[in-house]
Amino acid sequence: MKYLFLFFSAFAFAQQTKSVDFKTVDGSISINSDSKSISGTVTYVFEVLKPIDTIKIDAQNMAFSGVELNHHSITFTTNGKELLLIYPFQKGKNSVQFSYEAKPKQTMYFVGSEATDNLQIWTQGQGKYTSHWFPSFDNVNEKVIFNIEIAFDSKYQVLSNGVLKDKLFEKNKTHWKYRMQKPMSSYLLMMAIGKYDKNILKSKSGVPLELYLDPKDISRQEPTYRYSKEIFDYLEKEIGVKYPWKIYRQIPVSEFLYAGMENTSSTLFATRYVVDSIGFEDRSYTNVNAHELAHQWFGDLVTAQSGKNHWLQEGFATYYALLAERSIYGDDYFYSKLYESSLQLKQASKTDTIPVLNAKASSLTFYQKGAWALHVLREGIGEKAFKKAVKNYLLKYSYQNVTTQDFFDEIKKVSNYDLVNFSKIWLESSDFNSNIANELLAKNNAMKVVLEVNKLRNKPIAEKYGFFEKTLKSDVYQSVKEAIVGQLFKEKFEDKKQLLRLALQTQNVQIRQAVASTFQKIPEEFRADYETLLDDKSYQTQELALYNLWNNFPNLRVEYLSKTKDWIGFNDFNLRILWLSLAVSTPEYNTADKEKYITELIDYSSVKYEAITRQNALEYLLNFKIINEAVLKNLVNATTHHTWQFSKFGRDNIRVLLKNPEIRSSFQNILSSLNEKEQFQLNRLVKE
């Protein structure tokens, strides 16, 4: 029945778009962070194309009042999912105005608090629907010009789509007025509230690029946003169509659901990409930066009509992000990334039977296979023809919805390429054509060597040793050398030790990191070589190296801990959490400070920190059997988190712990001290 209802709703809305065209919306809203609620007034201007007696606006669990059509009261009803306007609508322009209130259960997220001075409020419309916080349209084919005014505490920055036209001050509140000039789908509407510093750059074409950061992270401005202007300028030139909006913002938000989200003119991204220069080596924002910016054209300017055509957004954004990175890091990098995705797609095709042109396709298929399809097409028809077709496609369908056929029609105008066969292989088949992929990869010299290395995978080490040695000594691209190190994993130490030393001597962070992950047991003979990894400018390498050395050489644990006692790591404290876990688990190290270390480690698992930090701390606490009342409470709290990965982590671990009668009793003892949501989750798990 659920699927029948969804189908009916989608069908009904598709019918509505043929009868009604919503043009603009003016929303004036106020947010209460204490009650986690929102209220406001909304005015939609729309044109009736055909007579209709009921018009629907998506609105999840909202209360309405003062509903007026053209300034006169009108009959309305709501079913918890929609606001239904009931009236014998005739052809012509109209406006509807109403007030609403809501307590969004999703899509609008309240993170941190004013008390701890880390309050942030942000929205995520794609996949969760903007209609949970603003009466709008879940159907992507209804595009509207949004003008939003948001009132909030003057201590905070308030950000939304479009140009900031005005700021009005009223007592201790500020009204922020944002205006769009062009229409967009509702899922691209956004809001972000927090305390931010702002840096403004300008693109070659004069577009303001606003880069936001939490004031405490201001020293990370350059590495976090490195290449932002270069990416913008490159994409505008490569795509051949001027950036379609008046301004571009990038805003990191705590506890974000995804890596990033391409809201029109204002991208939100996860704070894990806020990095210093060392963090940049392992966790650069560059790809996400380019991907979300590419969406401003592919997704925001032109939007796929349906899930079946979703690759027109994700495949394009993935491919153009890779092209942007190519302009920064070079051809070898570009081809190495294509090669990595080809391996993933080849492996996935063994079990994944859903092709690109299917709304149920996986993210890997939409993103990576979609990107590969575009690469094959670009190579097949030539760069010049491809760029012309893409430009014509974007210009023809600007601010509209598109299908794969719309794109193909533009390809046909510039080339006689066999699109029927292309579609069968790359869009309609679940297989990944490695032969075609490898032919294209072999255009790059580094990839030729990688493919040669791959052919040797099952050969004895003696047969390939000379080739590996020569290659490691050469100046070939790093991915080739990483591939060689990867093949050494199962070889006997005596047979591979000199090759590993050659890999370390490259002084390349990624190649040395590959060596760091090669060992489970480190031979004493290689200890001094391995210890050099502790000094690498890479938080991931340092984490691997410290743990492996501590695990392999118990007699040197105190020495390793003393050397690394000031390590912090990424902004998720990965190195500090590891260090505390090892220090607590080393009896002979700083005995007097053990309780202090345990307290700090448990603190990292608390609500003061983001989910990625908390989960890391909880994993170590559980693995090292450091379990007390505070740990159990933090684990239960995890089950109430809005990110499904962290809440699942909490539930899965509680299920395991409940098998221990003593810990089960401890869970029962803390039950009364938990809040209502926590009690509900724990009770449910106890009763399973």
- Kindly report, residue by residue over 567-619, the tens digit of the pLDDT: 999 999 999 999 999 999 999 999 999 999 999 999 999 999 999 999 999 99
What lies within 8 Å, CB to CB, of 469 at 6+ separation is 498, 499, 502
In the prediction, which pLDDT does 519 show?
Answer: 87
Q: Which of 557, 507, 514, 497 is nearest to 535 (CA)?
A: 507
- 65 CB-contact burial (10 Å; exposed 0-12 / middle 13-18 / buried 19+): exposed
What lies within 8 Å, CB to CB, of 596 at 6+ separation is none
Whole-prediction pTM value?
Answer: 0.95
In angstroms, the CA 632 to CA 629 distance is: 5
Rg, C-alpha atoms of the chain: 28
What's at 678, amino acid-wise?
A: E
In the prediction, which pLDDT does 1 show?
Answer: 34
Phi, psi for 513 (deg, rounded to 5) = -65, -35
Three-state DSSP at 538 gives: coil
CATH of domain 196-283: 3.30.2010.30
Q: Are 159 and 146 in contact (CB under 8 A)?
A: no
Q: Which of 285, 272, 298 is nearest to 231 (CA)?
A: 285
380 token code pair: 């097949």
H helix and E strand count, the chain: 28, 23
Phi, psi for 475 (deg, rounded to 5) = -100, 25
Could you please state the CATH topology (level 3) that the domain comprising 302-443 is classified under. Answer: Neutral Protease; domain 2 (1.10.390)
Q: Around Cβ 470, how many Cβ atoms within 10 Å?
A: 10
403 token code pair: 């299908």
In angstroms, the CA 613 to CA 610 distance is: 6
Phi, psi for 78 (deg, rounded to 5) = -140, 145
Q: Are 22 and 142 in contact (CB under 8 A)?
A: yes
Residue recorded with tokens 């969406």? 295
Residues of the chain with confidence (pLDDT) below 70: 1-14
Q: Which CATH number fits domain 1-189: 2.60.40.1730, 2.130.10.10, 3.30.2350.10, 3.40.50.300?
A: 2.60.40.1730
Q: Which of 636, 639, 628 is nearest to 666 (CA)?
A: 628
Q: Helices marked H in 532-674 — which ranges? A: 539-552, 557-563, 574-584, 594-604, 611-623, 629-638, 644-657, 661-670
Q: Are 366 and 315 in contact (CB under 8 A)?
A: yes
What lies within 8 Å, CB to CB, of 367 at 6+ separation is 314, 315, 317, 318
Three-state DSSP at 457 gives: coil
153: which strand partners?
173
Residue recorded with tokens 């496609």? 393
Q: pLDDT of 453-494, one tens digit each?
A: 999 999 999 999 999 999 999 999 999 999 999 999 989 999
In the prediction, which pLDDT does 554 show?
Answer: 97
In terms of C-beta distances under 8 Å and separation of at least 24 residues, what long-range contacts does 332-336 make, across chains too?
Answer: 332/444, 332/446, 332/477, 332/479, 333/477, 334/444, 335/441, 335/443, 335/444, 335/446, 335/447, 336/446, 336/447, 336/450, 336/477, 336/479
435 token code pair: 């032969």
Domain ranges across the chain:
1-189, 196-283, 302-443
What lies within 8 Å, CB to CB, of 576 at 6+ separation is 567, 568, 569, 604
Three-state DSSP at 461 gives: helix
Quote the Cα angle for 253-257-259, to 5°.
75
What's at 352, amino acid-wise?
A: D
Q: Are 68 and 47 in contact (CB under 8 A)?
A: no
Q: Are 571 and 543 in contact (CB under 8 A)?
A: no
In angstroms, the CA 38 to CA 234 distance is: 40
In terms of C-beta distances under 8 Å and separation of at least 24 residues, what long-range contacts does 463-466 make, across chains too?
Answer: 465/495, 465/499
In the prediction, which pLDDT does 3 show?
Answer: 33
Cα distances (Å, whole numbers) of residue 157 to 33, 115, 175: 14, 17, 11
93 token code pair: 């322009």
Three-state DSSP at 658 gives: coil
Q: Helices marked H in 397-522 — which ranges? A: 404-412, 419-426, 434-441, 445-455, 461-473, 478-487, 493-505, 509-516
Query: DSSP per residue over 19-63, as a string?
Result: HEEEEEEEEEEEEETTTTEEEEEEEEEEEESS-EEEEEEE-TTEE
